[in-house]
Structure 1
Amino acid sequence: MDFELSDDQVALCDGIRDLCQGRFDIDTVRGLADCGGVDRQLWGELADTGVFSLVVTEDEGGVGLGWAEAGLVFEQLGRALVPGPLVGTLLAAEVIDDAVVGFMERPYGPALVEYPEVIDALLVLDRDGVWRVDASELSVEAAQSVDPLTPVGRVDLLPQGEQLMDFCYGWANRAVFLNSALQVGLATGARELAVAYAQERQQFGKPIGQFQAIKHKCADMYSREEVARAALYYAGCVMDVTHGPGLPADPGGYLYFEGCTIELGDTLGDREHQELVRAVSGARILAAEAADHNGKDCVQVHGGMGFTWEIDAHLYLKRAWALTPQFGSLDRHADRIANLVGADPLGHAAPLG
């Protein structure tokens, strides 16, 4: 079995990395905080490269790649701190053309909507399916965001909107997977920033990276990043088996929302579904923890100035904090995995309690 990326996948990563370095350098990204987090021209360039049509079939005008490749691309976008409703716009590519699209679960009460000033539409996921709410229907109040590059607005009541489809399970897994890819990229970017500083900052006549306390911290950052990346890549492979081009968008199963469990089909006993739950939720937990801890360690490696606005370390940590609550808390994903513990070899879930 070959665990290395193919030549085409390496070329894809290199191409997106070059695009990010050329068009989304850190100064440009910082400047986007003043225009709602999205520059329409730069966003159009992302769309023109096929970022949002990666998993749309070629017959439908897309690139025709798989979810594994989408994960690679979103990893690079996270590494470069590219802001914007990336997940929602990719998920919406099959149903909404040429739009900047947000994506969220339907809240049970007031909610925060990301990028309210720039989105054209909002895709809302609930127990009945996926709904489109036009931005013009939203009544948004200004709200404070933890991430300066992820502006949010408060919505007291979310309109019902137009139903686009009556299934949602596949969409939930896709959103979780793409969110995890962004967080693996954040973990990488934070580690790279910390290591670069540790190599150049001198103390007692030598780089601080030569001191054990800093050296071990950077090694821990790399270990977390690699474990999360391995889980992400495996989840991408499982996604392609269960959600790939030409396969049903909704394999059935169970989806967990706050306060309720939705049964979407009698397929919990299927081995593929169980493996999908383990892979996607496992990657979600590891990626979120890697992004959070690496962001904190990056700040620590920079010392006192790591807490200042001028140093980029805080941007990785704040983006991690903004992404982690999305598409289910880590406890919810841990519960998804725990519910499969004790399943017998034939794939039948054992009763809990």
Structure 2
Amino acid sequence: MRFQLTEDQRALKAGVRELLDRRFGREALRAAVDAPGRLDRELWRALGDAGFFALRLPEADAGVGLGLPEAVLAFEEAGRALLPGPLVATHLAAGRVPGAATGETVVTAVDGELVEWLEAADVALGEVAGAVPLRCVDPLTPLHRTPADAGGRAPDPVAALLTAAEQLGTAVRVQELAVQHACTREQFGQPVGAFQAVKHLCADLLVRTETARVAVYAAAVTADPVDIAAARLLADEAAVRGARDCLQVHGGMGFTWEADVHLHLKRAWVRARRGGGGTESEELLAARLVA
């Protein structure tokens, strides 16, 4: 059995990265930070044209006809680029909500007591009456809180896995940023990456990222809820701890508004609050072990 990505999967991953580099590069990211709460509809439609939301729809239904592993690869790239918007909810709504598959309709959904991008979305799935806006730590993720747990259901395993894929993308990106800074920033006449403490931080970043990658990719193949729970825990840890370690590599510069590192950390914090993370995944794993 081969566990490497196929040529088509590598091409899909590269294609999504190329699209996001072209349509949502660093300038677009900083522009989005300066205009919080505004969703780029043109970019959303471009994602629809590329098949991002329709990846798992059958070709007979005007979809791409791929599977969960391919969706995970696409969402990993979205996480790496810090792409804003209710990506998971719109992807899951493709085929059920008209226009979601093509990017013409932006769909959000209640997740426990929280709902993302409520004011920018065309359709909200779940009870949102009386939802109140929150001041979110991530400027690229406007949040509302519902009066009570409007979800009322167990977290969707696919949603949890796609969130894990986004977290993996953040882990990959902060690892890249840490290594780049460690190789170019100099202190005492040598790159900071030459110091043992910084080497250890970068090594830990790599180990956590690759451990999460294996778990996420495996869960995409098995689609087993327990495998997804394990992948979600590892991906949340890789994203949050990875971003914190990347901040340490950057030193005081990492905490400034001009740096992108803190944006990755804040997004990782917000994603970690989505359904299927934290205690929910731990309880699921514990129940399987006891059984």
Q: Same fold by TM (over 0.5)?
A: yes
With the length of structure 1 as denominator, give the TM-score of the two structures: 0.77
- RMSD after superposition: 2.0
Alignment of 1:1-353 (within 5 A): 1-33=1-33, 34-98=35-99, 99-105=105-111, 107=112, 111-124=113-126, 138-156=129-147, 172-239=156-223, 276-342=224-290, 349=291
Q: Return structure 1 stretches of 4+ with deviation > 6 angstroms.
A: 157-160
SS, match of residue 53 in structure 2 = helix
Q: TM-score, structure 2 length as denominator?
A: 0.92
Q: Deviations over 1:56-84 (max 9, x none)?
A: 00001100100000000000000010010
Q: What is the CA distance between 1:30 and its match in structure 2?
A: 2.3
Partner secondary structure for residue 281 of structure 1: helix
CA contact under 8 A between 2:157 and 2:276: conserved in structure 1?
Answer: no
For residues 159 and 220 of structure 1, do their structure 2 counterparts lie closer, same or farther at Cα, with a shift above 3 Å needed? closer
Is the contact made by 2:88 and 2:159 (CA closer than 8 Å) also made in structure 1?
Answer: yes
**Is contact 1:20-1:77 (8 Å) kept?**
yes
5+ unaligned residues in a row in structure 2: which ranges?
Answer: 100-104
Secondary structure (helix, strand or coil) at the match of 1:339 reads: helix
Aligned residues of 1:37 and 1:150 also touching (Cα < 8 A): no
The SS at the match of 1:62 is coil
Q: Which one has a bigger Cα radius of gyration?
A: 1
- Name the CA distance, whole Å, in 2 between partners of 1:333 and 1:213: 32
Question: SS of 2:240's equivalent?
Answer: helix
Would you say the 8 A contact 1:37–1:151 is kept in 2? Answer: no
What secondary structure sits across from 2:133 in the alignment? strand
Q: How far apart are residue 32 of structure 1 and its match?
A: 1.7
- Total equivalences in the alignment: 285
Q: Give distance in 1, aligned partners of 2:150 and 2:232.
A: 29
Closer, same or farther in 2 for the Cα pair 1:85/1:228, shift >3 Å?
same
Does the CA contact (< 8 Å) of 2:84 and 2:140 recur in 1?
yes
Q: Separation in 1 of the partners of 2:88 and 2:124?
A: 12
Query: Aligned residues: percent identity?
Result: 44
Segment of structure 1 superposing worse, 24-33 or 213-222 = 24-33
Equivalents in 1 of 2:11, 2:38: separation in Å? 28
| 2:229–2:276 CA contact under 8 A, matched in 1 | no
Stretches of structure 1 lacking an aligned partner (at least 5 in a row): 125-132, 161-167, 240-275, 343-348
